[in-house]
Amino acid sequence: MKSFVSLTSVAAPLPDADIDTDIIFPARFLLLLDRRGLGRHLFHERRAQASASEPFILSQAPFDNAEILVAGRNFGCGSSREQAVWALADFGIRCVIAPSFGEIFYGNCFRNGVLPVTLGDPEHREVMTAAATGAPLTVDLEAQAIRLTAGRTITFQIEPHRRDALLLGLDQIGAILAADATDIAAFEIRQRDQAPWLHLDRGKLSFFDNLGSKDEK
């Protein structure tokens, strides 16, 4: 998983509340198994329903190259589909800023290298206003801060274990191995002593291998 330390990008403003995962990634595309290319289906209905004179925000320059999305309250509610986060990541969105998130969507973001930032209403309004100007914002995970072009800095909080995993680019398995490698190694040594039959030497035939070879004769 790609690490997240600091990101500077224009931020696409999407103020609508209660955008669920079916809006983010419609159910009819769930049969697509490859994560690559899912970004083309991101917000499919919103894009299709928008007019040529007023296209959807992620179809407008400069927001079509945004790596930050400033969303409304309860973003990512509804279905637990992880494809919603996959589509955002494939499109290029690496950070979503909102007053609140759907709980499962929030967890899925961390598992896929996307940083979800929760802000209080006053700070969120300030970031949304700054995003609408098209000026770039900086999201610094190491400092847990958002820097606006006017010199304003807004701080946020991320759980330490999730912050560390994103900074190091560790998925769930990687985070477990990094945190518990010593305990895992100790368990394997203990298990070899207590249940050696589970760790047969590949160079030696087991009892069952011998049975098989006799049957073949």
Tokens 């992880």 sit at which residue? 82
Q: What are phi and psi of 203, to 5 degrees?
A: -80, -5
Give the per-residue pLDDT at 198: 79
Residues of the chain with pLDDT under 70: 172-181, 201-217
Do 124 and 75 meet the contact criterion of CB atoms below 8 Å apart?
A: no
pLDDT at 211: 52
d(CA 85, CA 108) in angstroms, rounded, equals 7
Q: Is 110 helix (H, G, I), strand (E, B) or coil?
A: helix
Rg (CA), the chain: 23
Specify the fold of 6-168: Aconitase; domain 4 (3.20.19)
pLDDT at residue 217, rounded to an integer: 46
CATH 3.20.19.10 residue window(s) in the chain: 6-168
Question: Which run of H or of E encompasses 140?
Answer: strand 137-140
CA 144, CA 198: separation in Å to the nearest integer?
46
Choose among 67, 63, 72: nearest CA to 132: 63
pLDDT in tens, 77-136: 999 999 999 999 999 999 999 999 999 999 999 999 999 999 999 999 999 999 999 999
Q: How far is CA 14 from its chain centroid?
A: 18
pLDDT of residue 188: 81
Calpha distance 68→10 (Å, rounded): 7
